[in-house]
A = this chain, B = another copy of it.
């Protein structure tokens, strides 16, 4: 009986070729390929045999990694979840681990390490790559102050603030008074720990709070 794998990644070429690769491993077979979180959930509903392990990307359109991982973790507690990302940044790792991933793999691992990791996840339930375990404690410690929680209106404002327009123009676009905009600005300055609009825009891009 082979170990059944599900994969979700928005890069079609990566998805298909990774599937191909995993299928070429001795003990594995791919039972599910999805281009985003929503497709992954649909796939899980339709197939007869649920996967043992699901590999999922962090950033995906329609439904992203953390969201779908959280849903699967409650709906299918038996499935082991592995995050797959190209970026080794704290934010992505944290959000995936918190959502319920038991392992985090970087896309630049060697195929043999991938196979090793998948076997380890299947047998022991978890896997930590070197780089991850090194920073693990630090990550968990910084857990709270790392989190930037924004309201919907703040997100909208922030997105508009990352542009060449003045606050007056932003206020007009959001159908709000300039004073309200000034309030959002102040709130964002505090939350992002900056002291100018440029700093705010830069932080927003760094923390990927806006599309850029």
Q: Which of A46-54, A71-79, A175-183, A192-200 lines the interface with chain B?
A: A192-200
A139 within 8 A of B: no
If A11-B107, A108-B10 touch, does A161 touch B198 (CB 8 Å cutoff)? yes
Cα–Cα distance between A11 and B104 once the two chains are bound (Å): 15
Report the copy number of this chain in the oligomer: 2
For A17, the chain B residues whose CB sits under 8 A away are: 14, 17-18, 20-21, 111
A residues touching B (Cβ–Cβ < 8 Å)? 10-14, 16-18, 20-21, 24, 35, 86, 105-111, 114, 161-166, 194-199, 201-202, 205, 212
Query: In chain B, what residue has the closest Cβ to A23?
Result: B20
- How distant is the Cα of A20 from the Cα of B115 in the complex, in angstroms? 15
List the 4 closest A-B pairs by CB distance, nearest first.
Answer: A164-B199, A17-B21, A17-B17, A12-B108
Please measure, in the bound complex, the distance between the C-alpha atom of A105 and the C-alpha atom of B14, giving whole angstroms. Answer: 13
Do the beta carbons of B162 and A110 come within 8 Å of each other?
no
Q: Check if B111 sits within 8 Å of A13, measured CB to CB.
A: yes
**Alpha-carbon distance A111/B12, docked complex (angstroms):** 8
- Known contacts A11-B86, A13-B18; A163 and B199 CB within 8 A of each other: yes
